[in-house]
Structure 1
Amino acid sequence: MFDRGIKKWQGFILSEHNEQLEQQQIQEVWRPAMDAEEIEQVLIEALLHQDLIKVQKKSDTYDTDQAPEPMIQGRIAGIDAGILNLRTDFEVIQLSVEMIHHVENARGEQKWYT
């Protein structure tokens, strides 16, 4: 029996590479600002259901002409004294709740194969 080795996976690797390039090309835009109550509601729901969330941080100089930092995506590992511990694929990020500009539930956005 002949094994095609890497040849049989080239199409799969190429499609993942294209998807990654598309994600990088998406220009980040400022999402609508949320007040503390709205942020708290989304965080409570995400913590309760262990949902994936996306967080957009406030910048030191909020300028609508300047693109924001990429959104941080992860699951809530804990909240303590106004500090949100967000577990991403690679690390745990500590973020002050006061530094959150926008947060949204990313339930259903994750691909089945990731």
Structure 2
Amino acid sequence: MNSQDFDLDTVKHFFEHDYHDRGMMKWQGFYLSDHTAALNQQNQQLNAVYVPRPQQSLAELTQVLDDAYQRQQLVTIQLKTVDQNNRHLPDITTLIHGHNANDIVIDSDCFVPLQEIRNVAYKKTEKL
């Protein structure tokens, strides 16, 4: 077909009256199952409700954290921080890499102030 075989008015009429672009609907089929599974998991985490555990005293917190640091055991840490809907954030599961008088060091040299920790407990290991 060369440029003289089609009429621009016919093409214009087709796109104005006959062709209906479905927009993003046509791209929905391109999501892979891994992508949709990850999106569903992310949505579940955003809608999850984390029950506040009891506030531990500073002595209890430091005892568990020091023991976990010496034994290199995983702990789960619940922070006092809440989101804009007044819901607790997900627990942090980590090893303790160090500490000083006011902070603990967790993954990637991230400092967490002791005053921000609500509860800390040893990570329960699943038996095989």
Which residue of 1 is the match for residue 17 of structure 2? none
CA contact (8 A) 1:52 1:105 kept: yes
Q: Identity percentage over the alignment?
A: 26
How many residue pairs are counted as aligned between the two chains?
Answer: 90
CA contact (8 A) 2:82 2:89 kept: no
Q: For the residues of structure 2 that align with 1:107 and 1:34, how far apart are their CA atoms? A: 18
Offset at residue 50 of structure 1 (A): 0.3
CA contact (8 A) 2:49 2:88 kept: no
Which residue of 1 is the match for residue 112 of structure 2? 95
1:33 aligns with 2:33: no
1:1-114 superposed matches below 5 A:
21=41, 24=45, 26-59=48-81, 66-87=86-107, 91-109=108-126
Offset at residue 26 of structure 1 (A): 4.7
Q: For the residues of structure 2 that align with 1:75 and 1:26, how far apart are their CA atoms? A: 24
Q: Deviations over 1:64-103 (max 9, x none)?
A: x83201111110010023110012xxx3321011111111
CA contact (8 A) 2:82 2:88 kept: no
Offset at residue 59 of structure 1 (A): 2.3
Q: For the residues of structure 2 that align with 1:78 and 1:52, how far apart are their CA atoms? A: 13
RMSD: 3.2
CA contact (8 A) 1:86 1:94 kept: yes
Larger fraction in strand: 1
Larger radius of gyration: 2
Q: Which has the higher contact order (CA 8 A, sep 6+)?
A: 1
Larger fraction in helix: 2
Query: For structure 2, which runs of at least 5 residues remain unmatched after alignment?
Result: 1-33
